[in-house]
Copies of this chain bind each other. A is one copy, B any other.
Amino acid sequence: MKDLDSDKATIPSHKITLDQIKQFDFERILNDDPALKTLCLLGKIPDKDGSLKQPAIFNLEKRAFNAKLNDPHTTELLANLSNLTITGANDIYHWSTGWLGESRPADIKVSIISPCTDVHIKKHSKQKTHLVRETPELYNKVTLPFIQSFPASRTQWVRNILNGVSEQEDVVYTSPAPLGFTLLPDAKWDRKTLATLYLTMISKEPIPSLRSLRAQHLPLLREMRVSAEREIRAKWPDVERGTLRFFIHYQPSYYHFHVHVTHVSYNGALGMSVERAHLLDNVISLLEIDGDIFDKMTLTYALGEMHGLWKPMKEHGGWEDPSLQDE
C-alpha cells in the first residue's frame, strides 16, 4: 500500500556520489532518538561539479548487532573489543563502555534526501507533542469539521485498492462480505522478517475513524480479528497463534477506517503507544458492553504541534488543565 511518508517522483532525479557525501556541510540537528539510536541532520552537499550547494537531510541510524550463533562477528565480539573502560560495579553487576574491533560490520545506515525541500525538513524535524482531551463536544466542534475539510481525492488511493484498481498484486485477502475489508502489507514491511511484520486492514465501508464505531460495526470488527489472523498465518506459517497485535490509531493518518497488524515481538514503534492507539480486542469488548461508547467517551491522545488539529484543538480547550474541567 501507499507509503504515506514518501513523495517520490515529484522532483527530478539527482544521483549522489560518495565524494559529495563526505563534503557534507553541517547546519543543524533536526531530530534524534536516543532509544532507537537515530539522528537526523540538515546541511548542504555540493553539486557534482562543485559549483552549487544543495540542501540535504541525512538520517543516520546505528545498525543492530544482527547476531548469529555461528558467526565469528558474534562469537568473537567481546574478544575483539578495544579500550574497554569499567565505569561501575556493584556486587555481581559491572558496567563498561568500549569500541568494537576493526573487523566489525558497518556501524551505521544512512539515508539521504537531496535536494530536499522545506516540506521534507518540516516532516523530519522533531515536533513538540501534547496530549489533548477530545470530548464528544470537541469532536463535533473541531475534529469533524477538520475531517470534512479534506477533499475526497485525498483518500482516492484507498478506494482504488478497495475497488481493485491499484495494488491488487499486494492484496493478501479480501473478505467476501459486502461490508468486509481488504488486507495488505504495509510499505514499511519487507514481507519476510516476522519480527517487523506490518499489515493493514481497510474497511470497505467508509467509516471515518474509531470515534464513529458503533454496535452495528461489531460483525466487521470480529471478522477483521478472526480472518486476518487466519489469512496471515496461512500465508506466513511461522506466525504463531495469538502473536499478532491488532490496533487502531486515533487520530489516524487518513480518515477511512483501518486496523494495523504487527507482531507482538516488535517493539519501539511510537504508533503502538497508549496515547496513540487502541487494541482492537479491547475496542470490540467496549462496544459489546455499550454500543454507543465512542459517542460518549473523552478520547485522550497525543498531537504533534504540526498536526492540523493541534491549533483548533488548543483554541477550543482540548488542552485545558484537567482540574479546570473537573470542577
Contact = CB atoms under 8 A, between A and B. Distances in A.
A60 interface: yes
A277 B195 CA distance: 21
Interface of A: 6, 8-9, 11-16, 18, 21-24, 26, 28-29, 32-39, 41, 43, 58, 60, 62-67, 69, 74-79, 81, 83-86, 89-100, 104, 106-116, 126, 128-133, 195-196, 222, 225-226, 229-230, 240-245, 247, 264-270, 272-275, 277-279, 281-282, 285-286, 288-290, 293, 296-300, 302, 319, 321-323, 326
B93 A8 contact: yes
A90 B114 CA distance: 11
A17 to B, nearest CB: 8
Contact of A13 (B78, B92, B242): B92
Contact of A222 (B38, B275, B326): B326
Contacts of A90: 8
A64 B92 contact: no
Report how many copies the assembly holds. 2
Contact of A108 (B100, B115, B130, B243): B100
A293 B75 CA distance: 52
Given A22-B79, A92-B13, A34 B114 contact: no
Nearest to A75: B26
B18 A222 contact: no
Contacts of A323: 226, 230
A299 B282 contact: yes
A270 B273 CA distance: 9
Contacts of A8: 90-93
23 contacts: A11-B92, A18-B96, A22-B78, A23-B79, A26-B74, A32-B67, A35-B266, A35-B267, A39-B67, A62-B65, A63-B97, A81-B110, A93-B112, A95-B110, A95-B112, A130-B243, A226-B323, A229-B321, A241-B321, A282-B297, A282-B299, A285-B297, A286-B286
A281 B267 contact: no
A267 B274 contact: no
A300 B195 CA distance: 21
B321 A226 contact: yes
Contacts of A282: 297-300
B289 A278 contact: no
B274 A129 contact: no
A273 B274 contact: yes
Contacts of A85: 106
B110 A92 contact: no
A16 B94 contact: yes
A297 B195 CA distance: 30
B81 A64 contact: no
